[in-house]
A and B are shown apart, each in its own frame.
Chain A
Amino acid sequence: MIISFPHMGKIHLALEKTCQILELPYIVPSLPGPKTLKLGQELAPEGSCLPFCLVLGNMREALEKGADAILMLGGSGPCRFGYFIYLAVELLKDAGYVFEPVIIDKGYHLKNFMKLQHISRTSLPSLVKAVFFGWELLVSEEIIDRLEREYAPLIIDRLCFSKLLAEARQELSLARTLQETKVIRSRVIEYIKNTKMYPMDKVLRVGLIGDIYTLLEPYANHQVEVFLRKHNVVVYKEISVSGWLPNLLLPWRTTSYRRELLKKATPYLGSSVGGFGLETVANAHMMRNTKADGLIQLFPLGCMPEIVARSALNKMCHDEKIPVLCVTMDQHHSKTGFETRLEAFLDMLHNRQQISEHDTA
C-alpha cells in the first residue's frame, strides 16, 4: 500500500518523516501550483473555493502517481462545503479512482489508529512514537518559521540569519532524535537573543489573519510573507498546523480553546461562525491589543466564515482605529494587483506611523 497526503503549509514534512520511520512507502504530491489547480478544477463543483481545488488536485495527482491510500486531516469544518474532505473523496471515487481514505477527524481516532496500524504493520507503541516524532518535527519547523517572520526584518546581519535558518531547516529534515530537534531549535533562539537588532518601533508590524489554508499555503497567498519580508515588515500570524490540530483533535482541549477564542473576540463576535471566522476575529483583536500596526485578512473567494468575520472586522477597525486590508484570493495567476494593494497598504501604515510619532513627540 502506498500512502499519500494533500499539502497544507509544512504538514507534509511531518507525515513524510512518520512514513520514513515506519518504513511505509509514500508519495508526496508536488507543491500546489498551476498544475494542481488544473487537476482539481476538472473535478471540483463549479464555484468551489481555491483551497478545495488545490487539495483535490493534490490528491488526484498522488493517485495518478500510484498512491492507493490517502491520509487527510480535519474533514468537516462547518465551512461552505461542510464535509470538505468527504466531498473530495466522493468526487475522486466518482471519477474512477480506487483508494483507501484515512480521515483523521473528530470522533474517529481509535478507528483511524487501527487502520494506520494495519497499513503500517507495526506495534501500537512504535506507531505512536513515529507519529509523535513527526509531530515534533512539524512543531520545530513552525517555530523556526515564526522566528523568521517576527525577527528577520529586525536583524541587522540578515544574510547570516537566513543562512542559519536554511541550515537549521536542512538539519531538521535529517534529524533522528527528539534531542536533535530541540538542539536545532534552541540554536536559532540563542542566535536571536545575542544578535544585534534594529529597535522595534523602526519597522512596521502587520498581522495576517484569515482562512487557514490561504494563510499557510504560499501558492494560495501569492507568497505574501516573502513580499512583506522583502519590505522589512514584521509579520504576526497565529494560525499554524501545530496550533490548530491539537485543539481540533483532542477532546479535552476543544472546549477551553473555544472559550479562549470567544473571550478574545468579544465584543465583536459572540459565536463560532464556521471555518476560521472566530479565530480571525479573535486573533485580530488580540494583535491589535499587543503589537500590530495593521492587519491583512486573506481568504478564498466565496468563503462564508471569513465574509462574516470581515463584517466584524470592519466594526473593529473603526472602533479601535486599526487599518485592515481585506483581500479575496482566487485563481489569479498575476500577482500585480495583489502587490499594488499591499504596497499601498504599507505606504499608508508608514504615514500613520509618522503621524503618531509626530503626535507623541
Chain B
Amino acid sequence: MKAYLGVDVGSVSTNLVIMDENEEIIEEMYLRTQGQPVRAVQSGLKMLGEKLGQKITIAGVGVTGSARSLTAVLVGADAIKNEITAHAVAVSKMVPGAQTILEIGGQDSKIIIMRDGIVIDFAMNTVCAAGTGSFLDHQADRLLIPIEKFGDLALKAKNPVRIAGRCAVFAESDMIHKQQLGHSTEDIVAGLCEALVRNYLNNVGKGKEILGPIVFQGGVAANVGIRDAFEKAFNQELIIPKHYNVMGAIGCCLLAREATRNKPTSFKGWKAAEYDFRPTSFECKGCPNLCEIIQIHENDVLVARWGDRCGKWSNISVKVG
C-alpha cells in the first residue's frame, strides 16, 4: 500500500503521521523532542518501521517545524514547509469551512485567518514565548501538577486571580507572589490560563478579523483551561480536531503527496533510523558576521552544511568525496 509520511519536529514535541492515499490517518505518533531532534526523529522512524514497514511503501515525505532542515536531511524529504502553511493545509482538508485557526505549540503561538480554504492573513508571536506550551510545561512542573491535569484544575477555580501575561518572567513572579499571599492553586492556574489567552489576543490576534468556525489546535489545545478561557473570550465554541496535536504532520503528508506527483520520493528508507547522524558546528572566522556553521555527518560522511550568511560553506557540494 502506498502511504505518505509527515514529520513535524517542534521545540517540545516531534510528531509523525502516516497517511494513505485516501487521506486516512494510518498511524500518528506524538513524541517529546527533549532537546534532541535527531534522536526523536530516529526513534519515531524506528517504531513506525517496525510496525508498518512490511505493510506500506512510503511514496513521499514532508517535514515541517523549527527543525525542518535538519529533519529533511535525516529522512530525505520531498516537501520542506513552514509550520503555518502545513497547519493551514491540514485544516482545509480536515475541517472544511474553518475561518480561523488558533495554534499554540511549544515555542510559537500563531493565528491563521482563512477564507474559502486559503490563508489570507496570519500572525505569529515574535519576541516573547509567554503563553506557549513550554511555559505552561514549566509552570506545571514547578507546581508539581502533571501537565495533563493542568486544565482540569483550572476549571475548578472559583475566583481566578489576575496575572500579568505579557512576559513569561513577569507572569511567573506574579504567580509566585499570589501563591505566597495564600491564593489557592486552582485560582492561580485558572488566572494563568486567562492571562495567556488575554496575551494571545492582545499580541498575536490584534487587528485580525476572527470569525467562526474557529479551530483550536497544537499541543496546548489539550488544555481545557485554556480552551475554556478562549471560549469565554470569543463567546462561541471552539472546534478541536481529532488529531489536534499532529496537524502540522498531517499537512506535511498532504504536501508530500503534492510534491511527489511527478517524481519519485527521496525517502531514505526505514533504515535511516539506524544511521549514525552526528551534527557538529564551528564558528566561521572569515568575516565579522562570525556565523555558526552546522555540519551534518551521516555515517561519517558529511552530507549537509548550513548556517552561513554568504554561502561559502552551504554552497559547497558536500556529497562529493
Using CB atoms and an 8 Å cutoff, list the residues of chain A in contact with chain B. Answer: 30-36, 218-219, 223, 226, 301, 314-315, 317-318, 323, 326-328, 330, 333, 336-337, 340-341, 343-345, 347-348, 351-352, 355
3 pairs of A and B residues whose beta carbons are closest in the complex: A344-B84, A314-B207, A33-B288
Give the interface centre of A32, A323, A348 by most chain B CB atoms within 10 Å: A348
Contact in complex: A337, B66 (CB < 8 Å): yes
Within the assembled complex, what's the spacing in Å between the Cα atoms of A32 and B287? 10
- Tell me whether chain B's interface is mostly helix, strand or loop, or mixed: loop
Stretch of B28-36, B117-125, B130-138 with 4 or more beta carbons under 8 angstroms from chain A: B117-125
Residues of B near A219 (CB, < 8 A) are 289
Within the assembled complex, what's the spacing in Å between the Cα atoms of A317 and B208? 10
Interface assignment of B83: CB less than 8 Å from any CB of chain A: yes
Given contacts A341-B84, A348-B84, 8 further A-B contacts (CB under 8 A): A34-B289, A314-B206, A314-B207, A326-B123, A327-B126, A348-B119, A348-B121, A348-B122
A318-B209, A343-B82 known; A333-B292 Cβ under 8 A: yes
A219-B289, A337-B66 known; A328-B82 Cβ under 8 A: no
Residues of B near A352 (CB, < 8 A) are 118, 120
Within the assembled complex, what's the spacing in Å between the Cα atoms of A30 and B108? 34
Residues of B near A33 (CB, < 8 A) are 287-290
Contact in complex: B82, A340 (CB < 8 Å): yes
Who on chain A is nearest to B116 by CB?
A355
A318-B207, A330-B127, A355-B118 known; A344-B83 Cβ under 8 A: yes
Contact in complex: B207, A301 (CB < 8 Å): no
Q: How many residues of chain B are within 8 Å of chain A by beta carbon? A: 25
Q: How far is the CB of A263 from chain B (nearest CB, A)?
A: 25
Interface string of B54-93 (1 = CB under 8 A from A): 0000000000001000000000000001111100000000
**Of A31, A337, A340, A348, which is within 8 A of B287 by CB?**
A31
Who on chain B is nearest to A230 by CB?
B311
Q: Which residues in chain B, 192-211, are within 8 Å of chain A measured between CB atoms?
A: 206-207, 209
Interface string of B262-296 (1 = CB under 8 A from A): 00000000000000000000000001111010000
Q: How far is the CB of B283 from chain A (nearest CB, A)?
A: 9
Contact in complex: A328, B127 (CB < 8 Å): yes
Interface assignment of B156: CB less than 8 Å from any CB of chain A: no
A314-B206, A318-B207, A340-B83 known; A347-B119 Cβ under 8 A: yes
Query: 8 interchain pairs (CB within 8 A)?
Result: A30-B288, A34-B290, A35-B288, A314-B206, A344-B84, A347-B81, A351-B118, A351-B120
Residues of A near B206 (CB, < 8 A) are 314
Within the assembled complex, what's the spacing in Å between the Cα atoms of A351 and B85? 11
Contact in complex: A35, B119 (CB < 8 Å): no
A314-B207, A318-B209 known; A323-B121 Cβ under 8 A: yes
Contact in complex: B288, A340 (CB < 8 Å): no
Contact in complex: A301, B127 (CB < 8 Å): yes
Within the assembled complex, what's the spacing in Å between the Cα atoms of A326 and B203? 11
Residues of B near A36 (CB, < 8 A) are 288
Who on chain A is nearest to B85 by CB?
A347
Contact in complex: B66, A340 (CB < 8 Å): yes
Contact in complex: A348, B127 (CB < 8 Å): no
Contact in complex: B85, A344 (CB < 8 Å): yes
Contact in complex: B66, A35 (CB < 8 Å): no
Residues of A near B122 (CB, < 8 A) are 344-345, 348
Q: How far is the CB of B294 from chain A (nearest CB, A)?
A: 11
**Of A35, A226, A317, A337, which is within 8 A of B290 by CB?**
A35
Within the assembled complex, what's the spacing in Å between the Cα atoms of A301 and B125? 13
Within the assembled complex, what's the spacing in Å between the Cα atoms of A219 and B207? 30
**Of B84, B123, B292, which is within 8 A of A340 by CB?**
B84
Q: How far is the CB of A4 from chain B (nearest CB, A)?
A: 15
Interface assignment of B309: CB less than 8 Å from any CB of chain A: yes
Contact in complex: A31, B124 (CB < 8 Å): no
**Of A31, A315, A317, A351, which is within 8 A of B288 by CB?**
A31
Within the assembled complex, what's the spacing in Å between the Cα atoms of A218 and B291? 13
Q: How far is the CB of A29 from chain B (nearest CB, A)?
A: 9
Within the assembled complex, what's the spacing in Å between the Cα atoms of A238 and B211? 35
Q: How far is the CB of A225 from chain B (nearest CB, A)?
A: 12
Q: How far is the CB of B6 from chain A (nearest CB, A)?
A: 17
Q: How far is the CB of B106 from chain A (nearest CB, A)?
A: 12
Residues of A near B83 (CB, < 8 A) are 340, 344
Give the interface centre of B81, B84, B122, B126 by most chain A CB atoms within 10 Å: B126
Who on chain A is nearest to B209 by CB?
A318
Residues of A near B108 (CB, < 8 A) are 337
